[in-house]
Structure 1
């Protein structure tokens, strides 16, 4: 293999048009085609997905040629400090023609039957979606290396300031290929105004990034209908954070991060395990359920996999499918994975405490994930339930197709495929609902806080106090609650203690109930000027507030505000009835369903209706209710400037 005149080569050249108006028209048509491809890629992980998909296809090809003696390896480097991503594989490499034309739209050298991608648009996105791309490939006959600059600037240029990029030949040396007979390295430089902004997701080390790539890219292979399809790739990940510190991780034989495998799930069973156990017990169904041993009760998750033949045989899954949809199930060898969690809070806790990434990133959640050719495609969508819609937040469904053939940008499937996936998702939720009696009750608290035996429970609370002490003092009085809240009951206790300590002013409580639809009825009385907002009293209410006793209002308590959003979705409670929510934290679902206005920033609190409220929730520009987020409030009491700065940055995202 020879470089074949890489220097000055234009991958988009229309060689059969020598010049003139025809050439100008053709060049503009090519630009529009490239720009349409770029616009179809809107996801944070699109760049990683395309690079890793190509690498996996390359090592797959070499594995088939060389067999078990070949050890596939992919190196991933993410340099957050320099906005640079590099993926290097020891796959089949490219010859000179493949190298020269791989960036051209709609050109693919892959087999449609065997590869993960074959549309010929992913490499175009990589080449012309960013500031600079370096491509180095190696085969037994030699190596070729080239660099393409200003691809994005050319694609979006309307003034003629940027000529169409041409390859520049560069040195052939590529770290990671020195001891390999073949392979390819691709390095992409992302300018500050381009996406993805590597620092935004707040993952700073290699272990975090390996988990993220497992969830959102082809690294997390979905081999539900193809046992043995995984080729046991060894992944090496290097991440350099903003300070220049590098961390490393290595793993092999990775598949998709299925929810029943996440560390917060302490007790889980597949439906097939449950059914097998039920069948081993004599008596009617009710008796069998009562006789199930403890390992099958109070489950954090139930899950199962239905292959295409299972879908067609299982009446609860296939009952609403028409004949055309049944044909699609067989044609695409559709497989469905489903997992139902006892608490939707598990998703938030997993992202916060395990992944430790930006709270607004949508990663592993309740919803429908379409997948094709062994990899997730596009973002999660809502499972379109028509009843008990709150359960859509507890359920994660993966619908995998062979040769699903999504459109550009890895996300849009044909309407009949999407409709079929929606129906399969609905029916899977219906199946899981049959096992609700075996699930742990959802109280709105984080997963894993259920009572154990007394000794373990006491030890757990002592350990928790050491790791998350509350240690709050106000006007020389210490708060009696010694650790951060773990449940709704803790939130109620803490709020009323803070009222007693004088942190909150003007509240009067008529009733608190655990059996009525709503938790509490209260009134306010702001006759004392000390309850009014001012520069010195930023927790006060608007000076225009009613100065006498108010009418009775409804107050709700939750550990996490998302539990109230779930109640709204299930029509257990109604936003128009509630004036104030007291919770420990404001969740991401709340931020998605409502506009959130932070009252602890600047003078935003000057319009506050209830003393000490930290946020207001809006829909259609109308305020629905106010929120006292105790975690944010306590942080504000300890250091007002720091908490105000944190909220300013957080709500500016």
Structure 2
């Protein structure tokens, strides 16, 4: 893991080729003069009415700031190791914090980064004040200090993101770059791995073995059309909303074939547990980066539909996800093949429908 010290002088120009898109994170130091310049025209609060009020408060307390920005969620792991706090994710989560009298206060607030693209940037800001008493957990800073923090967090976060961008390794929200090849060539390469489905067991028209998330969505709906997963009734699917879909579970629609291999136990299932969020992933553990980046909340997801579900544990960003296969009839929902848990989520579980495992149990896919 590498980081880059981005100096203000260098940022006057685009970085040389040898430094572009090479680094996990970049940082900037903001002097009192720089903050004064950055906050010009931003005043207008209850106490800081104009630029003179802002500059007066900045200079009174010799306010400076340090900001770090990165694209990689794995940078949390770097900070956890460096600061020796692997079990305390709050200490390494992107946020704005306050330093006073040579100590970092317990005061902390999440940065609102939604307008910067679902928290793709990971941004940390520490603001240092001279002559301000540490809050010692009371969260009772003077109101003009809190107003100044509100005023400077967006300009500083925007500036460090903009200035760091030329240096940072780009990643998509899935952690993979978008690929492109001629459609017919891509189709031919996919057809080289045909879908070895036993048509006597399940009638499906998919031609190639699943290799990505959209294959999972398509197969799920084909299996619904065949009546094998008709108990999951979609309310919506979305490619732009934070969650992929919302389903309603109908125990009366469970097919006899599913009852024979993965029956549900819905006798005492309250109505509030018969609907909820469903996520789609190629592998079950592909959900973990979304949780680490805080793009999605574990406790809000009821079902995860995937192609494969390895029963090994996986750790990223201080979080460990466990997946275990369910025995026949052990889960409340018919058709569920695995259960996923998260160390930091307590008793909250996600019910996993691994389509490959389901097809194997139906005798429609070879067991390797």
Q: Same fold (TM over 0.5)?
A: yes
1:292 to 13, 16, 23: 16
Q: Distance in 1 between matches of 2:261 and 2:282?
A: 23
Unpaired stretches in structure 1, ≥5 consecutive residues = 1-263, 279-288, 451-495, 533-540, 546-552, 618-622, 634-653
Change (3 A) 1:610 1:307: farther
Number of equivalenced pairs: 269
- How far does residue 269 in structure 1 lie from its aligned partner after superposition? 3.5
| Contact 2:325–2:337 (Cα < 8 Å) also in 1 | no
Q: Distance in 1 between matches of 2:205 and 2:22?
A: 35
Confirm or deny that 1:561 pairs with 2:287.
yes
User: CA-to-partner distance for each residue in 1:509-563, whole Å, 9 max, x for gaps?
Assistant: 95868697x974333537166632xxxxxxxx62559xxxxxxx86224755353
What TM-score does the superposition give when structure 2 sets the normalisation length?
Answer: 0.55
Residues 202-351 of structure 1: pairs in structure 2 closer than 5 A:
264=1, 266-272=2-8, 274-276=10-12, 278=13, 289=14, 292-314=16-38, 317-321=39-43, 322-323=50-51, 324-348=53-77, 350-351=79-80
Match in the other structure for 1:542: 264
| Contact 2:216–2:281 (Cα < 8 Å) also in 1 | yes
Q: Distance in 2 between matches of 1:355 and 1:328?
A: 31
Q: Distance in 2 between matches of 1:507 and 1:328?
A: 72
**Structure 2 counterpart SS, 1:329:** helix
- How far does residue 419 in structure 1 lie from its aligned partner after superposition? 2.8
Q: Distance in 1 between matches of 2:88 and 2:353?
A: 21
User: CA-to-partner distance for each residue in 1:248-294, whole Å, 9 max, x for gaps?
Assistant: xxxxxxxxxxxxxxxx3x14231525414x2xxxxxxxxxx4x7322
- How far does residue 301 in structure 1 lie from its aligned partner after superposition? 0.9
What TM-score does the superposition give when structure 1 sets the normalisation length?
Answer: 0.34
Q: Distance in 1 between matches of 2:147 and 2:130?
A: 17
Change (3 A) 1:508 1:307: farther
Q: Distance in 2 between matches of 1:331 and 1:507?
A: 75
| Contact 2:6–2:28 (Cα < 8 Å) also in 1 | yes
User: CA-to-partner distance for each residue in 1:474-497, whole Å, 9 max, x for gaps?
Assistant: xxxxxxxxxxxxxxxxxxxxxx9x
1:431 to 143, 159, 163: 159
Q: Distance in 2 between matches of 1:344 and 1:437?
A: 18
| Contact 1:370–1:380 (Cα < 8 Å) also in 2 | yes
**Structure 2 counterpart SS, 1:440:** coil
1:522 to 190, 214, 219: 219
Q: Distance in 1 between matches of 2:66 and 2:341?
A: 38
Confirm or deny that 1:396 pairs with 2:124.
yes
User: CA-to-partner distance for each residue in 1:165-209, whole Å, 9 max, x for gaps?
Assistant: xxxxxxxxxxxxxxxxxxxxxxxxxxxxxxxxxxxxxxxxxxxxx
Change (3 A) 1:616 1:577: closer
Q: Distance in 1 between matches of 2:78 and 2:202?
A: 34
Confirm or deny that 1:362 pairs with 2:90.
yes
| Contact 1:598–1:604 (Cα < 8 Å) also in 2 | no
User: CA-to-partner distance for each residue in 1:356-385, whole Å, 9 max, x for gaps?
Assistant: 755454222211111111110014320134
- How far does residue 407 in structure 1 lie from its aligned partner after superposition? 4.0
Q: Distance in 1 between matches of 2:329 and 2:316?
A: 20
Larger radius of gyration: 1
- Bigger relative contact order, structure 1 or 2 (CA pairs below 8 A, ≥6 apart): 2
Q: Distance in 2 between matches of 1:392 and 1:528?
A: 40
Residues 72-83 of structure 1: pairs in structure 2 closer than 5 A:
none
Unpaired stretches in structure 2, ≥5 consecutive residues = 44-49, 178-192, 229-254, 268-277, 343-347, 358-368
| Contact 2:27–2:69 (Cα < 8 Å) also in 1 | yes
Match in the other structure for 1:612: 337
**Structure 2 counterpart SS, 1:607:** coil
Change (3 A) 1:577 1:608: closer
User: CA-to-partner distance for each residue in 1:216-269, whole Å, 9 max, x for gaps?
Assistant: xxxxxxxxxxxxxxxxxxxxxxxxxxxxxxxxxxxxxxxxxxxxxxxx3x1423
Match in the other structure for 2:236: none
Residues 575-590 of structure 1: pairs in structure 2 closer than 5 A:
579-580=304-305, 585=314
Match in the other structure for 1:173: none
- How far does residue 412 in structure 1 lie from its aligned partner after superposition? 3.3
Q: Distance in 2 between matches of 1:356 and 1:601?
A: 36
- How far does residue 339 in structure 1 lie from its aligned partner after superposition? 0.4
Change (3 A) 1:568 1:378: closer
**Structure 2 counterpart SS, 1:390:** coil
Change (3 A) 1:610 1:430: farther
Name the Cα RMSD after superposition: 5.0
Match in the other structure for 2:142: 414
Change (3 A) 1:425 1:272: same
Change (3 A) 1:357 1:304: closer
Match in the other structure for 1:373: 101
Q: Distance in 2 between matches of 1:420 and 1:413?
A: 11
- How far does residue 431 in structure 1 lie from its aligned partner after superposition? 1.1
- How far does residue 295 in structure 1 lie from its aligned partner after superposition? 1.9
**Structure 1 counterpart SS, 2:11:** helix
Match in the other structure for 1:531: 261
